[in-house]
Amino acid sequence: MTSPLTVMTWNVENLFPAGHKDGPPDQETYGVKIAYLATTIRGLNPDVVALQEVGDPQCAQDLARAVGDGWQVQLSDHSDGRRIRVGVLSPHPVTVEDQVVDLPEAGLPAVPDVDGTTLTRMGRGALQVHVDVGSGLRLVTCHLKSKLLTYPDNRRYPKSEDERARGAGYALLRRAAEAVAVRVQLNKVMTASATDGEPGVPTFLCGDLNDGPDAVTTTLLSGPSDGDINRPDKGDPVRLYNLAPILPIGRAYSRIYQGRGELIDHILVSRDLRLRVASVDSLVDDIGSITESTDTRRPATVPDHAPVIARFHA
């Protein structure tokens, strides 16, 4: 039996403790940020929140306690070089089903990196969980490679235009390989749970994909294209639908970069869920424009990404 359902995805921006080099400068600022996150989540009353940019696991526990009794958090074991990772927050029981970090043989198992090495793992691992709400749902959350470029010796600036172009190419290759890794995982688990050509466990893919809804790295995550959602076909067991087109006009973005709105935080759902969508929104009212500077963000108590929320009928 189905029931009404609300799912959020939110990049909470460098959720580190006070005094950390990427975290708030003092305990007071940290407390204000945790309170803002918790109040927002509690007010929206989601059944599950996909989180990105969780630093110290203790901060995630602080957030869960601040949201309310019974809320729990599960985190990926595979963070990046800055120690940020993805996670899932919910008032319902959450079971970790899998962690995706290795680039699979069925995907793009090895891609070159800017420093001459070969990458065989995702920068930040994806997390797959089962949430015990209604008849149960599967959620995969991920945070793909950003568009911020680095160069050999961890430089943030290129020595030539050739190096800049090459660095951008390496970043795109890495994001593509990570997207393919997530898609291969979805192919495996969605096919395994399907019966008689029908989708199995209701499935969400949520996260910071670091690109817009029409980017190749985003669209490939949907799986096979669909000509008519109202007509079942053989692609349904592995197909996902991006809810981006349903966002209200004027709110179809989740971050403001140098004055320009970008939709890089996405919720994709299986067909059964797409047919139950009641509303989708990006809660952009509190966010402001950012630049490449990270130091100026340390005192921020509102993340630079808006939460994206989707509600579903029973």
Which CATH number covers residue 198?
3.60.10.10
Distances from the Cα of 303 to the Cα of 6, 11, 78, 186, angstroms? 21, 7, 22, 29
Identify the residue with better confidence: 156 or 237.
Answer: 237
Residue 193: predicted pLDDT:
79
- The crossing angle, in degrees rounded to 10, of helices 27-44 and 57-67 is 50
The four Cα atoms 251, 148, 176, 109 give a dihedral, to 10 degrees, of -150
Range of the domain at 107: 5-312
* Longest CA pairwise span in the chain (Å): 60
Total number of domains constituting the chain: 1
Dihedral sign (CA 205, 77, 58, 302): negative
Compute how many other C-beta atoms are within 10 angstroms of the C-beta atom of residue 211.
23
Judged on CB neighbours under 10 Å (0-12, 13-18, 19+), 55 is: buried
Find the mean pLDDT for residues 210-239.
95
pLDDT beyond 70 at 196: no
Is-contact 252 263, C-beta < 8 A? Answer: yes
State the average pLDDT over residues 119-129: 97
Q: What is the pLDDT of residue 105?
A: 97
- 44-85 pLDDT per residue, tens: 999 999 999 999 999 999 999 999 999 999 999 999 999 999
Number of residues that this document lists for the chain: 314
Strand bridging mode 72-75 / 48-54: unpaired
Q: Which helix (H) or strand (E) holds 85?
A: strand 85-90
Identify the pLDDT of residue 198: 60
Residues 99, 76 contacting (CB under 8 angstroms): yes
Name the residue type at position 38.
A
Q: What is the mean pLDDT of residues 142-156?
A: 89
| Mean pLDDT computed over every residue of the chain | 95
